[in-house]
Amino acid sequence: MVHALRAVHGLLRPAAVLVDIRPLDERAEFLVIDRGAERLAGLMQETDEGIEYRQAEAAMRHAITEGLFAFEADRSFPFIHHARSFPELRGYLEDIWSDAVMGPELEREAGWLLASAGPGAEIVLRETGWMKKLRRR
């Protein structure tokens, strides 16, 4: 990943800004939201335990240490996927999140929470995103 940051560095004009946006290395939450109340159905598991997040962070730290970029600011934010049913959310996630693990226990709990909720309830997957602003040196 450091080689990619070196390549980006070479493409940017002096003093240009690089914005790094990615999930934090935390497990995402499956929540049922009913009339503003949140109920936890379970946590996302990944087959690789999120190693790519740690690798990306290490590469960015290395690029800063190497003097390619200077850190300017950062901010976390919620990143939320919405669905009306667990199968709908599962189908979407299977297309975009190849190492996601969503076992039958999670599906049962989400289904039970949705069934006991009122009309208009939804299931969401909430991750914490991270955005860093870095200046090219």
Rounded to the nearest integer, the mean pLDDT of the chain is 91
Residue type, 82: H
pTM for the full model?
Answer: 0.76
- Taking only the tens place, the pLDDT of each residue in 52-110 is 888 999 999 999 999 999 999 999 999 999 998 888 888 888 888 888 888 889 989 99
Residue numbers of the domain that contains 129: 2-136
Q: How far apart are CA 101 and CA 97, in angstroms?
A: 9
Question: How many domains are there within the chain?
Answer: 1
Sequence-distant (6+) residues with CB within 8 A of 15 are 135, 136
